[in-house]
Each structure stands twice: as structure tokens, then as C-alpha cells.
């Protein structure tokens, strides 16, 4: 039996990077997917190596079935991850009246098609081995909706529905599927937002840290969560309850 492996999409920065580091600290070797930021990905790899774990960088666009096959399939022929974290996502904010078709489709493709492309390829091996944990990163936007983010809200709401369906499909095979829904977290995605206005809407009066999201993912990967599946865990400071 080889080392435990966790595959994380969108792992080079922000929440994905924090999840990768936390799971490496928990004893997982990391398969870190990212699209194009080679510098950030290599920095992540160095940090994981310092923790004593292996990190394999997997550059591909999760929205592309062809790229996903080309990069991921050879890895899956060697080993099946015990954990899959679908974190990849982008924003293209605009009011619906001004939103372009590309703005809509790019966001849907990265979050939802990306979830399908990666999960479908990993799932078969998990089912054969009758074990696995899948954690999908949604958002408060997918639970409550946010003006100017109808594309992102639709994608993240879709992740919740897809996760609940998959959880019921594979529970009998020893595979758990859960969702983590972050609120406003200190990442590049929130760096240009009007933070003072946002803080007035958050009962805890602060935005979250990526490490706080990673901590919930860590718990859901642990044996302490062995009877939890099909659930949505919010990490949002109380902005949506």
C-alpha cells in the first residue's frame, strides 16, 4: 500500500494552496493541479517538500476534457487518490444585463464541467478500491446568490446539487462526498472588493482566512467524519445561515 494521495484542483493559490498545505501536513502526498501560474505552483511544491511530502504538479485546464485526459490519465494508471478536492474556479463578475456569453460559459465550464471532467476520471478507481473522499468547494454565492455573480452563483449552486446526487450514488461503495461553502475569504478573488461594506454584513465582523477553509476540508478527510456525506459545510462568518 503506497502513501495516501490527495488530488486538489486549482491548487496553486488561495484556498487551494492552503488546502494542499494542510493535507500535506496531515500526511498526504499531493497532486496539485493548476492552469498556468507555474511560479506559484513551484512555490507550493517547495513548501510541501519542506513538510516531508511529495508534490506532483499537474498543469492542465480542468474545463478541457482533452487536457484532463492527457495529464491526469497517466497518473491514474499508477495510483488512485484517496482524496479529491475540486476547488478550481474563476469569476467573471457582471450584472446579467451586461454579461457576455463568454463570461457565463467560462465560469460554468471551469467549476461545473471541470468538476465533471476530473471527478469522472478519478471516481472509477475509487469505486474499484471501495474507498475515497470527494470534497467540492462551492460558495455562499451558490447558497444565497450575489448580485453581479449570476454565473458564479449558478456554477456553485450546481456543485451543491451534483455533490448531493453523487453522494447518494457512491455511499455504498465506501466513498463520501461533501461540500465546503466559503463566504468572503482573504484571496485574490476578494482583493478588489469593498471590504468595509462587506464587513457590515458579516456577523463575525471579519472576512475568513484560507486556512479556516482548509481546516474544515481536513476534518472531512479524517476518520472523525466517517459518517458524514452529502452535506454542505459553510465557512462564512454567519453571513448566510
| 97-107: pLDDT as tens digits | 999 999 999 99
Domain count of the fold of the chain = 1
Q: Which residues are catalytic?
A: 152
Is 164 a domain residue?
Answer: yes
Q: For position 34, which CATH number holds? A: 3.40.50.720
Backbone angles phi, psi at 199, to 5 degrees: -60, -30
CA angle 183, 187, 189 (to 5 degrees): 80
Is 122 a domain residue?
Answer: yes
pLDDT, residue 123, reads 98
DSSP class of 84: E
Q: How far apart are the first and last CA of the chain?
A: 42
pTM of the model: 0.97
Q: For the residues of 179-239, what is the DSSP string, one character each? A: EEEE-SBSSGGGTTS-HHHHHTT-TTSS-B-HHHHHHHHHHHHSGGGTT--S-EEEESTTS
pLDDT, residue 196, reads 86
| 39-82: pLDDT as tens digits | 999 999 999 999 999 999 999 999 999 999 999 999 999 999 99
Is 241 a domain residue?
Answer: no
- Domain that includes residue 124, residue range: 5-235
The 10 Å CB-count burial string (b at 16+, else e) for 85-115 is bbbbbbbbbeeeeebeeebbebbbbbbbbbb
Question: 137, 20 in Cβ contact below 8 A?
Answer: no
Q: Which long-range contacts (C-beta less than 8 Å, at least 24 apart) are formed by 103-112?
A: 103/151, 104/151, 106/63, 107/151, 107/152, 107/155, 108/151, 108/154, 108/155, 108/158, 109/63, 110/62, 110/63, 110/155, 111/152, 111/155, 111/156, 111/158, 111/159, 112/155, 112/158, 112/159, 112/162
Residue at grid coordinates 478541457: 64
Which regions in the chain score pLDDT beneath 50? none
Is 114 a domain residue?
Answer: yes
pLDDT, residue 1, reads 52
Residue at grid coordinates 465533471: 116
Is 171 a domain residue?
Answer: yes
Amino acid at each position: 500500500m503506497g502513501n495516501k494521495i490527495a488530488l486538489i484542483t486549482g491548487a496553486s493559490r488561495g484556498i487551494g494552496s492552503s488546502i494542499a498545505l494542510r493535507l500535506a501536513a496531515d500526511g498526504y502526498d499531493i497532486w496539485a493541479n493548476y492552469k498556468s501560474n507555474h511560479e506559484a505552483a513551484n512555490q507550493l511544491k517547495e513548501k510541501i517538500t519542506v513538510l516531508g511530502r511529495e508534490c506532483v504538479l499537474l498543469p492542465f485546464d480542468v474545463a478541457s476534457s482533452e487536457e484532463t485526459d492527457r495529464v491526469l490519465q497517466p497518473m491514474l494508471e499508477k495510483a488512485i487518490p484517496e482524496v479529491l478536492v475540486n476547488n478550481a474556479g474563476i469569476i467573471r463578475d457582471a450584472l446579467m444585463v451586461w454579461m457576455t456569453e463568454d463570461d457565463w460559459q467560462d465560469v460554468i465550464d471551469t467549476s461545473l464541467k471541470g468538476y465533471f471532467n476530473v471527478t469522472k476520471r478519478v471516481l472509477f478507481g475509487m469505486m474499484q478500491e471501495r474507498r475515497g473522499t470527494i470534497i467540492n468547494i462551492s460558495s455562499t454565492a451558490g447558497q444565497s446568490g450575489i448580485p453581479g455573480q449570476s454565473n458564479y452563483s449558478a456554477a456553485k449552486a450546481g456543485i451543491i446539487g451534483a455533490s448531493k446526487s453523487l453522494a447518494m450514488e457512491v455511499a455504498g461503495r465506501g466513498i463520501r462526498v461533501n461540500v465546503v461553502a466559503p463566504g468572503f475569504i482573504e484571496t485574490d478573488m476578494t482583493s478588489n472588493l469593498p471590504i468595509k461594506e462587506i464587513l457590515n454584513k458579516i456577523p463575525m465582523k471579519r472576512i475568513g482566512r484560507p486556512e479556516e477553509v482548509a481546516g474544515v476540508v481536513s476534518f472531512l478527510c479524517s476518520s472523525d467524519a466517517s459518517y458524514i456525506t452529502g452535506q454542505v459545510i459553510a465557512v462564512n462568518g454567519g453571513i448566510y445561515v
